[in-house]
Structure 1
């Protein structure tokens, strides 16, 4: 995946129904090039599907979510770890941190077994020294990007 693929995914995350022509204008490609990239991203598993969320429902209610905090062996030369994390479709967020941990990864997977498999994959990556994993028990706030007023309560 390159920077344009990342932009396409970001735009589709904001609006999965965006017309290819409009998406093409936003990422500075032709409509046909955008269509081909989307098809490739789907084949490679970077786009696993599109969903409908009805008002009042929680998206991904049947998804297992986890945080994996990663210690790298070398903070300054850990690009291979980041590249490998980008290739895992269930990684929905990957952030470089200051402080004790180097990377925070949020996973959203179809099962606990898949979370365990991804954790094992991350722990065995060259350049990873250690990991700490926490499963999400419940989501108290789930705000769409750019929205400060759409909190969910339990």
Structure 2
């Protein structure tokens, strides 16, 4: 279900995406409202399920996780039980930062974050290759992050 947002709610969300710890008074000033209506709008956005939580975003680079590889995965069985088994197993691999089921020439796309090529190779050999129903993989090493963002879609 698409949620219709007015310009003020979009500004509130944009500020929260940029800094979820922004004080309500500062946020209210930034969007041109007083504290109470801003707090009410945030509560409504949470109740609508638009805001699903708040979290600390860690710096992978400062944690030494500078190596990013995207892995195409084809699985040998695409029945529901196989998909559920694969999904549960891939969620347990800490190096898998993102995993998407894909419609196309392969079944899943994984984003693997590791310290270096040795760490990645070990993750592939010990974790990824042990995933249930794994058919084949194809890996692509990222050389540089050009765009990484969390955003709120513009109105319209």
* TM-score for both structures, normalised by structure 1: 0.55
Shift of 1:147: 5.2
Shift of 1:60: 2.1
Asked if 1 retains the 8 angstrom alpha-carbon contact of 2:89 and 2:132, the reply is: no
Provide the aligned C-alpha RMSD in A.
3.6
Match of 1:89 in 2: 94
> Which structure exhibits the higher relative contact order, with contacts defined as CA atoms closer than 8 Å and separated by 6 or more residues?
2
Asked whether 1:114 is paired with 2:119, we answer yes
Structure 1's unaligned 5+ residue stretches are: 1-12, 19-25, 28-48, 53-58, 150-154
Q: SS of the residue aligned with 1:100?
A: coil
Match of 2:131 in 1: 125
In structure 2, distance between residues paired with 1:81 and 1:15: 35
Match of 2:85 in 1: 80
Asked whether 1:104 is paired with 2:96, we answer no
Report Cα offsets for 1:38-83 as digits up to 9, x if no partner: xxxxxxxxxxx9646xxxxxx6275100001100111222221211
Pair 16,107 (structure 1): closer, same or farther in 2 beyond 3 Å: farther
In structure 1, distance between residues paired with 2:128 and 2:142: 18
Match of 1:60 in 2: 61
Rg larger for? 2
Q: Which runs of 4+ in 1 moved over 3 A?
A: 13-18, 49-52
In structure 2, distance between residues paired with 1:83 and 1:17: 32
Asked if 2 retains the 8 angstrom alpha-carbon contact of 1:123 and 1:129, the reply is: no
